[in-house]
Chain A
Amino acid sequence: MEYFVQQLVNGLTLGSIYGLIAIGYTMVYGIIGMINFAHGDIFMLGGFAALIIFLVLTSVFVGLPVVLLLLVMIAAAMLTASLWNWTIEKVAYRPLRGSFRLAPLITAIGMSIALSNFIQVTQGPRNKPIPPLVSSVYNVFGISISLKQLIIMLLTVILLTTFWYIVNKTSLGRAQRATEQDRKMAALLGIDVDRTISVTFIMGASLAAVAGTMYLMYYGVTVFTDGFIPGVKAFTAAVLGGIGSLPGAVLGGLLIGLIESLWSAYFTIDYKDVATFSILAIVLIFKPSGILGRPEVEKV
């Protein structure tokens, strides 16, 4: 039983990270209907930004409190990743809006290849380890929960609440939902559609950057190829939860994280990614609208 709960905690931590990335996928897919393939690499980029800021801070100010360190890392990663995603949207996706459907998918794949190779070229192909940032571990009823895990879960809850509030209660969120439903009508009603879409990309990127920072803190290592697998898993999470739905993305992320850690714990670790991909295929085939998504109506 303790082993099971332990795996549950591990799975929820991993799932929180996937959920944070998945929100970016779900929002972008919701608003312009494209799979932003480069989103996983934005996540990786965020991790790298946090890594570099960490190295700068630890070499310039020795003995900085960990809380401050983490906050600055997150802020820097969010800023950098947002700027990148904003630029990418402007350069690679916006000119193709309204063009045929495959075009933005191809540019997104191209951007994904370019981004990961950009990091490889500028930062080197090797694994980048960092010393552990927070190492305290608490023992609750025989289950060990590390402070890292608590931070990740807490941050996910805070961010999800904030973003849920933005999307559902503010005028910006209203503009986003209107653009999602009918772009032309939204534009006629005076919504700056381009700006709304840019903001969506920025929001997605900043969440991915937080996830990247957390991933770096959790595993203590990052590498330029880190974007692809978490990216695909996060997309699976978004689809599983119902694409376009914010709570769905996090729910999907948590489920994927749980499945992955429980599968590794009770079956074989080798096939954990096969399990994730199989779930993706099965969900899409039998319930394409996901758990919390709206079913799509086919119009003739």
Chain B
Amino acid sequence: MSNISNTHERAGGNLTAQALREGFFAGLVSLGLFVLFVGLETTQNIRNELVLNQRWGLLAIFVIVAAVGRFLSVAYLRPWLAARKAAAAAKPAEGEESFFKRNFSKIAIVALIFYPPIMVMLFGVQGSLKWVDNFGIQILIYVMLAWGLNIVVGLAGLLDLGYVAFYAVGAYSYALLSQQFGFSFWILLPLAGILAAFWGMILGFPVLRLKGDYLAIVTLAFGEIIRLVLINWTEVTRGTFGVSGIPKASVFGIWSFDVSAPNNFAKAFDLPMSSAYYKIFLFYLILALALLTAYVTIRLRRMPIGRAWEALREDEIACRSLGINTVTTKLTAFSIGAMFGGFAGSFFAVRQGFVSPESFVFLESAIILAIVVLGGMGSLVGIAVAAAVMVGGTELLREMTFLKQIFGPDFTPELYRMLIFGLAMVTVMVWKPRGFVGSREPTAFLRERKAVSGNFTKEGHG
């Protein structure tokens, strides 16, 4: 310890000078970066010509923030972090984990089950709509999608950038089949999963030989092809207009949520009419589907197929020389991952009541993959936390109306959602390259189960 403080005292003067230099440099660079894009704004005038708006004040703020931020980080933040790291290294490792940490997943599930009633109690039936729908359902859809993709990327180590294609297959299967044949949600949910799994197999087959980035790009291409077909095959999919008027799901056919139906849920229980009940039902539905995904993943990891996936991720050549059929291993990973994407897709269709190709752009695939990686690939809890932070955090921006008082009435926080999402992806990745949860539960172990660092699990070559 004394060592460190000594060097600090000696470096004190130097450090400030260096920080000043770096701060000035950062200011200069940010001036170059932002002078055109922030200092000037292109807007259309009445004659529809482009004209320039000058915003030098805003540019000055950007430059000053960059310079001061850099100065502070070099002069104070970095030495402080270094000191803290040294202190943490000197302290002995912590013993028992807290009760909360050990039972995190159980507590989280219980909290989720009681989430809608608590929201109803806090905000009333109508007021809970926003919290159950925008936050609860939205986050859980991404949790489920990320858990589904986790089978492909986290367990089998196959980098898939076109996962949204299976989501689209599920959504369109439900939307089109329910409209054409009038099948109910409960018949079409498994059917959508099967169809998506089938597509997972079809798209997985040609890419068996591919590895790493090439696999990522081909799956991206497949995802885009499916989206473009959805846009252009107008006779079936109605193109960019999308399919609307998708029937609602019912509680296993016993209670319906259609207002005119005789077995309407609200009527059956003599409750006032509200769309909130349907949303609460959907919340439990997606919670059940997500938990099913998690349960299947956990069980599969203990089965030969799950172990084969993980072996494939660790070393494909060793895996093949030990007699594991890599073709079936890869195809099952693709199709089971795709199946959960299909389930999530049909849920998405039933929740929105409307599907269009707009919802299945590459950005969605990127978001899902980002959640998987940010959560620490392979860790279910980490992925759920990442989904809650990334999706919930950006949803929360919509709620920040108080920012209007600071930045003026024209300020719309939603506009900054994706900008902040992108920057958050970068920041989290640089800060924790191994994701939020850095340790893994091994599937095979000698006598005693010990958590291993995420650094020891490979990310796969394929």
Contact = CB atoms under 8 A, between A and B. Distances in A.
Contact of A285 (B218, B229, B423): B218
Contact of B424 (A110, A122, A273): A110
Given A106-B369, A109-B425, A277-B228, A118 B42 contact: no
Given A103-B373, A121-B416, A52 B42 contact: yes
A32 to B, nearest CB: 12
Interface string A151-183: 000000000000000000000000000000000
Given A84-B33, A117-B418, A124-B41, A103 B429 contact: yes
B37 A232 contact: no
A49 interface: yes
Given A129-B50, A271-B228, A52 B207 contact: no
B408 interface: no
Nearest to B362: A228
Contacts of A124: 41-43
Contacts of B202: none
A100 B433 CA distance: 8
A274 B229 contact: yes
A70 B313 CA distance: 51
A130 B52 CA distance: 13
Contacts of B214: 239, 284, 288
A88 B390 CA distance: 21
Interface in A195-237: 228, 232, 235-236
Interface in A59-107: 59, 76, 79-80, 83-84, 87, 91-92, 95-96, 99-103, 105-107
A101 B425 CA distance: 15
A120 B369 CA distance: 23
B426 A111 contact: yes
Contacts of A239: 214, 217
A119 interface: yes
Contact of A128 (B50, B232, B416): B50
Majority secondary structure of chain A interface residues (helix, strand, loop or mixed): helix
A235 B224 CA distance: 14
Contacts of B248: none
Interface in A251-283: 270-271, 273-274, 277-278, 280-281
Contact of B377 (A91, A102, A129): A102
A101 B370 CA distance: 13
Contacts of B48: 129
A187 interface: no
A33 B37 CA distance: 30
Contacts, number: 175
A59 B52 contact: yes
B336 interface: no
A51 interface: yes
B38 interface: yes
A96 B429 CA distance: 8
Contacts of B415: 120-121
B204 to A, nearest CB: 12
A56 interface: yes
A49 B36 CA distance: 6
Contacts of B225: 274, 277-278, 281
Interface in B204-231: 206-207, 209-210, 212-214, 216-218, 220-222, 224-225, 228-229, 231
Given A228-B362, A271-B232, A281-B206, A95 B430 contact: yes
Interface residues of A, number: 67
A224 B459 CA distance: 33
B216 A111 contact: no
Nearest to A127: B44
A110 B40 contact: no
Contacts of B363: 113
B149 interface: no
Contacts of B423: 110, 114
25 contacts: A49-B37, A52-B36, A52-B40, A59-B51, A100-B459, A106-B373, A107-B430, A110-B422, A110-B429, A113-B422, A114-B418, A118-B37, A120-B415, A120-B419, A121-B419, A126-B44, A232-B220, A232-B224, A274-B229, A278-B225, A281-B206, A281-B218, A281-B222, A284-B218, A285-B209
Interface of B: 29, 32-33, 36-38, 40-44, 48, 50-52, 159, 206-207, 209-210, 212-214, 216-218, 220-222, 224-225, 228-229, 231-232, 317, 362-363, 366, 369-370, 373-374, 377, 415-416, 418-419, 421-426, 429-430, 433-434, 459
* 7 smallest beta-carbon distances between A and B, as pairs: A110-B425, A114-B422, A113-B422, A117-B419, A277-B221, A270-B232, A110-B426
Given A45-B37, A83-B33, 16 more contacts: A33-B213, A48-B36, A48-B37, A80-B32, A92-B430, A103-B429, A106-B374, A114-B419, A114-B422, A114-B425, A117-B416, A123-B42, A126-B44, A277-B221, A277-B222, A284-B214
